[in-house]
Amino acid sequence: MAESIGEAYRENYEGMMNALRNERIALAIERATASYRQNLSKALAKYPHTVALADEVRKIKERSVERLESLLKEAMDNIAENKGQAYFAKTADEARRIVGELVGSKKSIVKAKSLTCEEIDLRQHLQELGNEVWETDLGELILQLRDEAPMHILSPSIHVPKEDVAELFSKVMGKAVPPDIGSEVAAARDFLRQRYVEADIGMSGANIASADTGSLFVIENEGNARLSTGLPPVHIAIVGIEKLIPTLAESFKVAEVTWRYSQYTVPSYVNIISGPSKTGDIEKVTTYGAHGPKETHVVFVDNGRSEMAKDPVLREALYCLRCGGCMYECPVFGLVGGKFGYKYFIGYGAAWIAYVAGLARAAPVAYTCLRCGRCVERCPVKIDTGSIISRMRGILVNGYDRFGEPQPAE
Amino acid sequence: MDLKSPYLPKVLPIMVDNMRGSSNPLGISGGKLSSWADGLDLPSKGETLLYTGCEYQLIPYVLTLVDQVKKMGPFGYEGGVLVDVAMGLRKLGLDAATAFASLTAKDEDYYNNITRTYAKVLRKHGVDFAYLGEEEPYSGALLYEFGLMDEFAEHANKVSRLFKERKVRKVIVTSPHALEAFRVLYPKFVEGLDIEVLHFTEAILRSKENIPMALKEPLEITLHDPCHLARTLDMAEEPREILSRVNNLVLKEVPYSNKRWTTCCGAPIEVLLPSLSEPLAARRIQELASSGAGTALTLCAFCLANLRKGAKGRSLKVMDFAELLDKATEAK
């Protein structure tokens, strides 16, 4: 944590300048952007109804964010009814404590990608408690091995070229991995396979939580979330409360728009998890813990979200589906990637940063945004970054009381 | 209003101080900013006003300020320690009065002449207007941009009162930022504002005199849409409509990044973060060059200045829209 506002400005600036000097970042993002735009345009051409569906999803998100508290209660009740365990963490500290107590120490954990886990530094916390934690998403694994923070919400290692991956994997895995993508993917698969089988606990986030059934949606392509949430005897999910949607039927709409704007016609897997595995095959007696996990724990995290929901402008940021499309359209992101941000990226991210990490971290991001508005063109739910940035800057000028006293400026 | 918030980049309170003293963010006198109109004999009173927002005229000063800020570190923060930019300026022997001494007359002439060109082109198209001269205030767009909402509201009301006093009915603006301020923002902050606001391109398209436009030599150009014009104000077609009437001109679009998908030139952060703003401009120049045209046009003072920086050492020529229309009407 930056101890002062000046330091937050400096760290942010140095991060961006270092990224700017590394020309490979801009090159990698340029290539990714070209392929994103092409894939998205193909996906939208094949499923043209998506655009209107996205408008509908915006309305669903508006209605959901309006009543997070009641949705949370409903979801927690339904998860309990499904024989899962639901928890509510008001703060990041509380979330770490709850998960820490569930996990204990000396456990082996396989983890699917989760932005909320990044937000609360969960992996580091569990490692400090004496657990072994493996990121199973290929991009996240690369970053874990490089000890770096994600550069993009969906493609976290977007800035690492295949040559660097080969060098890294060869070193860590103790065998020569050639710099071709196929071999690298196979090496990661071999490396993680046994870890899934031996893991005590699997962890994940969720893209959506349906209140009326207590179901979590985990959208993915690699199959790592399927294994992480399905193979170990215990599954722990960390879910931001802004992921709550009233009904399962609406959740499918949110899911389709999410993956479509993530550039997929359809993802390989949509995992829908509503509780622990069970069977009634012997004498129709329901018994928990069949082939999948015996325990399902869902930790709902607030960490500033319900406060954000009260702000008439900044609440828009809670509608974000995390499709990542906006980032490909942001000119600053195009040069410095995830260094334009702090845990959350680009202009609209400043609202997230303010609530989850404080105003000092949000300030440089709010003043770096160009307010050029191209992210809004891309956004399926039309999050109004221009208004969010104006509002954030207004708060930085004189409205910081709602965030508590300003920190001393050195 | 407390501008001592520790979260503010330190360069902002200085701009606000300047606005209080002189109505523009850099504290430049109205006389200097209106000198472009010398000898044009523009009336100072009339129902229709040409409003420049002082923007092109301010550019040389902005460029000089950016050079000073560069020495001061990002956001006016340096090495984690707050640097008071005013103090810094003084330390460098550059107080507000002398800060702009290094201004080059060439820059000043170039940007003043662009405003003059806007006025000339409007006249050639039979559009009559008055100009407030040294009393013309800045629109305040930058205050809104930087989140100084109270100051913006105060300024917007001041400007509106002036327009009312002068019985202004219609304003023709040469800047997307001023257009956005008057058309989108002022109505939210000012009661009972009843003035028709037209962009330069709208004024040309509505003029009844259909002036023939042609270039002497064939020219391939591309258009850099200013973000606020193309997206916020949804005006990508107006400039293209005008260009389509110019004989001997071929418009070559930038692949993908045009109209509502235009890429920002980097100017919005040129004062706070010059070291990021400049590579953004260079990137945009690359995109514009990929259109295949040798000349890029734009219609915003800040885009023009930043793109010219980005084009240094490149073969792509950057011009203002008004410069081209001026050429197109002197050809015959």
Chain B residue with minimum CA distance to A26: B283
Q: Which of B205, B230, B249 is the last residue of a domain?
A: B205
Chain B residue with minimum CA distance to A378: B261
- Of residues A405 and B294, which shows the higher confidence score? B294
**Number of A–B residue contacts, CB under 8 Å:** 129
Q: Which of B171, B190, B205 is the last residue of a domain?
A: B205
Q: Which two tokens stand for residue A222?
A: 């690699």
Chain A residue with minimum CA distance to B274: A368
Short-list A344, A338, A353, CA closest to A403: A353
For residue range B214-246, list pLDDT tens digits in order: 999 999 999 999 999 999 999 999 999 999 999
Q: Which two tokens stand for residue A228?
A: 């992480």
User: Which CATH number fits the domain that encloses residue B224?
Assistant: 3.40.50.10700
Q: Chain A contact for B152, CB < 8 A?
A: no
User: Which CATH number fits the domain that encloses residue B131?
Assistant: 1.20.1050
Q: Chain B contact for A394, CB < 8 A?
A: yes
* pLDDT confidence of residue B90: 43
B82: in domain: no
> Which chain A residues are closer than 8 Å to B231 by Cβ?
372-374, 376-377
> Which chain B residues are closer than 8 Å to A404 by Cβ?
none
* pLDDT confidence of residue A357: 92
Q: Which amino acid does the sequence have at A6?
A: G
Q: Chain B contact for A357, CB < 8 A?
A: no
- Residue A298: CB partners within 8 Å, gap ≥ 6? A76, A79, A84, A85, A86, A87, A209, A214, A216, A236, A237, A239
How is residue B147 annotated by DSSP?
T
* pLDDT confidence of residue A362: 94
B71: in domain: no
Query: Is B220 found in the same domain as B131?
Result: no
* pLDDT confidence of residue B7: 82
Query: Is B251 found in the same domain as B157?
Result: no
- Residue B49: CB partners within 8 Å, gap ≥ 6? B129, B130, B131, B132, B163, B166, B168, B170, B171, B172
Mean pLDDT, chain A cut into blocks of 10 residues (410 residues total) = 74 93 89 95 98 98 98 98 98 98 98 96 97 96 90 80 92 94 96 97 98 98 98 98 98 98 98 97 94 98 96 95 97 96 97 93 94 98 96 81 46
Query: Is B247 found in the same domain as B186?
Result: no
Query: Is B183 found in the same domain as B230?
Result: no
* Domain A50-279+288-303: CATH architecture, name and number where available: 3-Layer(aba) Sandwich (3.40)
* pLDDT confidence of residue B88: 47
Query: Is B326 found in the same domain as B216?
Result: yes
Confidence class for position B65, pLDDT limits 50, 70, 90: confident
For chain B, how many structural domains are there in total? 2
Distance CA A109, CA A102 (A): 12
How is residue A213 annotated by DSSP?
T
Q: Chain B contact for A359, CB < 8 A?
A: yes
> Which chain A residues are closer than 8 Å to B5 by Cβ?
396-398, 400, 406
Q: Which two tokens stand for residue B280?
A: 């953004």
* pLDDT confidence of residue B79: 38
Query: Is B48 found in the same domain as B137?
Result: yes
Q: Sign of the CA dihedral B321, B322, B326, B327?
A: negative
* pLDDT confidence of residue B21: 64
User: Are the beta carbons of B280 and A4 separated by less than 8 Å?
Assistant: no
Greatest CA span in chain B, whole angstroms? 60
- Of residues A350 and B63, which shows the higher confidence score? A350
Listed in order, the ranges of chain A carrying CATH 3.40.50.10420 are 50-279+288-303
Q: Which of A333, A370, A403 to mutate to test the interface with B (most CBs of B within 10 A)?
A: A370
Q: What are the E-state strand segments in B89-178?
A: 170-173
B156: in domain: yes
> Which chain B residues are closer than 8 Å to A329 by Cβ?
261
Show contacts of B104-113: CB within 8 Å, 24+ apart: B104/B60, B107/B59, B107/B60, B107/B63, B108/B60, B111/B56, B111/B57, B111/B59, B111/B60, B111/B301, B111/B305, B112/B35, B112/B36, B112/B56, B112/B57, B113/B36
For A336-340, B147-151, B158-162, B303-307, which range has the lowest pLDDT when averaged over its residues?
A: B147-151
* pLDDT confidence of residue B62: 85
The model carries a pTM of: 0.93
Listed in order, the ranges of chain A carrying CATH 1.10.1060 are 5-46+311-403
* pLDDT confidence of residue B101: 58
Q: Which of B205, B235, B258 is the last residue of a domain?
A: B205
Domain around B248: 212-330
User: Are the beta carbons of A16 and B6 separated by less than 8 Å?
Assistant: no
Question: DSSP 3-state assignment of B94?
Answer: coil
For residue range B154-180, list pLDDT tens digits in order: 999 999 999 999 999 999 999 999 999
Query: Is B247 found in the same domain as B116?
Result: no
Query: Is B259 found in the same domain as B180?
Result: no
**Does the pLDDT value for residue B294 go beyond 50?**
yes
Short-list A243, A381, A218, CA closest to A303: A243
B6: in domain: no
φ/ψ of B219, rounded to 5, equals -140, 130
Please name the member of A7, A17, A396 whose beta carbon is closest to the beta carbon of B275: A17
Short-list A121, A43, A142, CA closest to A380: A43
B112: in domain: yes
User: Are the beta carbons of A406 and B6 separated by less than 8 Å?
Assistant: yes
Contact A181, A162 (CB under 8 A): yes
Question: DSSP 3-state assignment of A234?
Answer: strand
Strand ordering across the sheet containing B196-199: B48-51, B170-173, B196-199
B79: in domain: no
B69: in domain: no
* Domain A5-46+311-403: CATH architecture, name and number where available: Orthogonal Bundle (1.10)
For residue range B77-111, list pLDDT tens digits in order: 543 333 444 444 444 444 455 556 566 778 889 99
> Which chain A residues are closer than 8 Å to B8 by Cβ?
363, 396-397
